Amino acid sequence: MPAISEFPIRHDWSRSEVEALFDLPFPELLHRAGSAHRLHFDPAEVQVSTLLSVKTGGCPEDCGYCPQAARYHTGVDATKLMATEDVVAKAKQAKAAGASRFCMGAAWRSPKDRDVPKVAAMIREVKALGLETCATLGMLSSEQAHALKDAGLDYYNHNIDTDPEYYGDIIHTRELQDRFDTLSHVRDAGMKTCCGGIVGMGESRRQRAGLLQTLANLPAHPDSVPINRLVQVEGTPLHGTTELDPFEFVRSIAVARILMPASMVRLSAGRESMSDELQALCFAAGANSIFYGEKLLTTGNPDTERDMALFARLGLRPMQVENAKDDRIDACTTTVHAGITEAA
């Protein structure tokens, strides 16, 4: 194992190395993860983002965890794409509540070309509010990725979901390579990537290690790495899956931090059912980003008052994001402790 002070940016992790991290005694793993975190971030700062579903339900995919799939009976009704003015109103509310990034999600396999100008208009208006912008719309072509970049999109979310060897057990309507292709289009367009996965879907520890190994060995580490804990929704194939041990979830956060030390590691889906104590352990393990406010697409999310109360109890503060005025540099950067500037 590497010395505690050595946390290089690597893209050649082996499965056995990642499994060895998972197998460390819990206190040692948290110590290493916390040390890696401090090399790039202020451990007392957490980025606060809001996610809005701008088009819900009716997705033709068969992802086993997803209540938005049209083929499952989950009580989620399909909606049309929201109007730009309604999205902007939600973004203003999110900013007033302290969010620094606003993410827009649409339940599409991939957007139709006619949809892209509508989403681009949302992006431009939200960006004008001084918020970082993120979108998750399904698979993108190269042309679509460039159009979203031209509209001012900062981040694009496209998760790989799980270990390549387990992927076929969860999804059959989209190949893993399709996901890699979209990530490549996003990087080539000059946008930052938000890419992570879901744990607690019945996978083994080896497969959790495989998920994080795959993320860390991408051509560039994702700028944001959302780690979702499965939210079981009645009507989906994964409803009734044995719940993941909370300490195993913390281990997943800690290993993600060690493998991708300069990335934002985000507590995403599943946070509503997490105790304050579990969330505190995740922050200690290197998580430094959360979603709050709006429902997390179609499942619950802790309300802002609970989150701010937890921040106060832990001595945490929302990460401040500054919009750069000079268009020759990145439009949005996050200033963190000790003068280091890192992508959010």
Q: Catalytic site residues?
A: 59, 63, 66, 103, 134, 194, 266
Of 255, 142, 136, 113, which is closest to residue 193 (Cα–Cα)?
Answer: 136
Helix (H) or strand (E) holding 205: helix 205-216
Beta carbons of 132 and 124 less than 8 angstroms apart: no
What is the number of alpha carbons within 13 Å of residue 272 lying toward its C-beta? 15
Q: In the β-sheet with 341-342, what is the strand arrangement from edge to edge?
A: 321-323, 332-335, 341-342
Of 270, 252, 187, 182, which is closest to residue 223 (Cα–Cα)?
Answer: 187
Alpha helices in 151-191 (DSSP H): 164-170, 176-188
Can you say whether the dihedral through the CA atoms of 232, 180, 48, 9 is positive or negative? Answer: positive
Of 118, 65, 120, 125, which is closest to residue 91 (Cα–Cα)?
Answer: 125
Q: What 3-state class would DSSP assign to 88? A: helix
> CB neighbours (10 Å) of residue 226?
26
List of residues 6+ apart from 238 with CB closer than 8 A: 64, 65, 170, 201, 202, 230, 232
Beta carbons of 142 and 116 less than 8 angstroms apart: no
Question: What is the C-alpha to C-alpha distance for residues 191 and 73, in angstroms, rounded to an integer?
Answer: 35
Question: What is the C-alpha to C-alpha distance for residues 71 and 48, in angstroms, rounded to an integer?
Answer: 33
Helix (H) or strand (E) holding 53: strand 45-55
